[in-house]
Amino acid sequence: MPEGDTVWRAATKLDRALTGHRLTLTDFRVPAFATVDLTGGTVIRSLSRGKHIITRIDHERPWTLHTHLKMEGSWHVYPDGEKWRRPDVQVRLVLGIEGRKAVGFQLGIVELVPREAEAELTAHLGPDLLGPDWDEDQALHNLRHEPARPVGEALLDQRNLAGVGNMYMAELCFTSGVNPATEVAGVPDLTRLVRRAKQMLEVNKDRAIQSTTGNLRERERMWVYRRDKSPCRRCGTPIAITMLGEPGRERAAYWCPSCQPER
C-alpha cells in the first residue's frame, strides 16, 4: 500500500493540475456514482490526509471527492491526446479540464459527499505526519494507549498517526534498533522513533524515488524492506521476515536478527 509521502505527491499533482479550473468532463466508473456529472464545476483544492486524497469541487453546491489508492491505485495527469500508460479497464475516475485529464486507475475508494460531511471521511485518523494538524504529543499518546501492542502494528494503525505504511514501519524499526514485535512499552525512545518517522516522510515527499539510506541506487535505497535473506547492511546477518497482525490482516515485517534482537 502506498506510503503517506506517495499519497501526498499524488494529491499535490492533482492540486497543481486542476485547482482553479472548470471541469469539462467527469467520468465516474464506479457503480455508486456512475450517473454523477460534475461538468461545469470548479476544482477548489486537492490535498492529502494520511493515505486519503480529498478533492473539493464546487458544482451547484460544494462537494468533496474522496479517493484512496489502496494497494494498486494511482493518479496520472495527461495532456489531451497523450496515450494513457495503464489500460482503460483499470480506470475508475476521469476529471477533465481544458487541455488535460486527471485519470484515477484502480482507486480503492471513490466517494462523493456534500462538503459539510467531509470531516467524517477522515475523522478516525490520528495526526498526519505530513499535514498541518501534525501533533507529536498526540501521536505519542495514541501509540502508548496500547502499551502491550507490537510497535510494528501500532505504527501501521492510521488511528495512531497517519502516513506510515509497511515500508516505513520496517525502516523505522531498523534505524531505531527495535524489533517490530517489541511491545510499544518496550521501545527505548518512542519519541525519537516518531520524530524519525516524520523526518523520513518529509525527506521523501518531494521525490519519486524513496530512500531511507540516502542512496538512490535501485538495490541500495532501503535498509531492510523487501531484503529478506539479503545480508544486513550493518552487520551482514541475513534479513528476516515476520508476519504481524490479526489473522487475515497480517503484514510482512522485515528485520535484522542481530541489529533488532527479539526481547
Catalytic residue positions, numbered: 2-3, 51, 251
Pair 39, 27: CB distance under 8 Å: no
CA distance 141 to 11: 28
Q: 122, 111, 141: which is closest to 50 by C-alpha? A: 122
Query: Shortest CA distance to 181 belongs to which of 100, 240, 227, 221?
Result: 240
Cβ neighbours of residue 82 closer than 8 Å, sequence gap 6 or more: none
Which strands make up the sheet holding 25-28, listed edge to edge?
25-28, 91-97, 100-105, 74-79
Q: What is the DSSP letter of 119?
A: H
Rounded Cα gap, residues 13 and 1, in angstroms: 19
Do the Cβ atoms of 255 and 240 come closer than 8 Å? yes
Cell numbers found for residue 9: 505527491
